[in-house]
Structure 1
Amino acid sequence: MDMSEMNRRAARVLEEWDPFAIGTDLYMTEIEDVVGALHELDDPSDLAKKIQLVYEFSFEKWIPLERCVEISYKLLALKFEAKCII
């Protein structure tokens, strides 16, 4: 899997997550921000905190960190899969 495929898969994971149950079409900016952070961060806690901040900034609603950690593990699994396949 190359990085563009990883980006597409990560975006799909985030769309399906739909943390506020408002529909997947309303998260495009947040998804782009989180996928960008995924390229920079390798620690699940750091990525989870970033996810929490991104969504809170946009929607002025708080997501429990535990939910963000769950999604961060899924995203990081995609990242490491992309890095490991040559």
Structure 2
Amino acid sequence: MNEIAQLNFALADVLQAFDPYKAGEGFYDTEMADAIYAVHQEDDAEKLAAEIRRIYEHSFDAPMPGGDPIHLAKKLLSIKQTVSCSL
């Protein structure tokens, strides 16, 4: 498996558990794809968190009621760094 696919699978595993609208795990396929793309574009946790919030709020047309996008962004960037360094 190539390094980008490996990273994407690792990011998807974390994003599967992110359920800010209490819609249920596996409900956010489109948002996950957009968030994974954002991780590839951004290295700053605060900017990534803002982009993740924008992605989810745009999809649901409502403020994000739950979840912690800063914590999520830090975790995703940590995975990005770990997977990139191990390859």
- Which TM-score applies when normalising by structure 1? 0.89
Deviation string for 1:17-59 (max 9, x for gaps)?
Answer: 1111111222000000000010010000010000000000001
How high is the TM-score relative to the length of structure 2?
0.88
Q: Please, what is the CA RMSD of the aligned residues?
A: 1.7
Unaligned runs of 5+ residues in structure 2 are none
Which ranges in structure 1 are unaligned for 5 or more consecutive residues? Answer: none
Q: What SS does structure 2 have at the residue aligned with 1:18?
A: coil
Match status 1:78 vs 2:79: yes
Deviation beyond 4 Å, 4+ runs, structure 1: none
More helix by share: 1
Deviates more, 1:70-79 or 1:2-11: 2-11
Count of residues paired in the alignment: 85
Q: Percent identity?
A: 33
